[in-house]
Amino acid sequence: MEYPFNMWELEPTNLFVKLEGWYGKKRPAELAAVLRNLDRYVDLLNAASHARTVQAGFLHGEPSGVVAVDQKGGGGNLAETRLYTFPDDSAKVLYLILIGDKGTQAKDIQTCREFVRNLN
């Protein structure tokens, strides 16, 4: 598929890389599901004129412009899992901040807010 706009670049944080490794060992089905939805999200971003116009059932708007990608569509009884991202429209960079579950959601959102504040 050819896109009319610049392609988005993924920029994982060190925290994301660390948690991705943990999820790969402890919750591989959940990791596979959120990464599959991340691929779908990037395709949607590449086809859109602005990140804020992208919508899908597996995407959730969070404070400070953060977008959470969940595990929906992964089948089975997967634990609720969120991959927190921040799309920087001006640079066409999608920051992969961290991966978490329902139990860490409040702390994860706070970490994401701090990440975005420090980015700006």
> 2 lies in a domain?
no
Count of other CB atoms within 10 angstroms of residue 82: 26
> 13 lies in a domain?
yes
- Residue numbers of the domain that contains 34: 9-119
pLDDT of residue 2 exceeding 60, the answer is no
> 104 lies in a domain?
yes
Write down the pLDDT at residue 74. Answer: 86
The pLDDT tens digits of the residues spanning 39-95 come to 999 999 999 989 999 999 999 999 999 999 999 998 888 999 999 999 999 999 999
**37 pLDDT tier (thresholds 50, 70, 90):** very high
Write down the pLDDT at residue 120. Answer: 76
Number of domains the chain contains: 1
Q: The tokens 């001006």 sit on which residue? A: 90
Mean pLDDT of the 1-9 span: 68
Beta-strand ranges (E) seen in 6-66 are 9-12, 59-61
> 83 lies in a domain?
yes
Residue (of 65, 69, 66, 81) closest to 30 by Cα position: 81
Q: The tokens 């060992």 sit on which residue? A: 25
Element (DSSP H or E) covering residue 117: helix 105-119
pLDDT of residue 5 exceeding 60, the answer is no
pLDDT of residue 107 exceeding 50, the answer is yes
**Average per-residue pLDDT for the chain:** 94
> 103 lies in a domain?
yes
Write down the pLDDT at residue 3. Answer: 47
**HSE, side-chain direction, 13 A CA sphere, residue 60:** 16
**4 pLDDT tier (thresholds 50, 70, 90):** low
> 29 lies in a domain?
yes
> 97 lies in a domain?
yes
Count of other CB atoms within 10 angstroms of residue 54: 18
> 27 lies in a domain?
yes
How far apart are alpha carbons 80 and 85 in whole angstroms? 16
CATH number where 114 lies: 3.30.2310.20
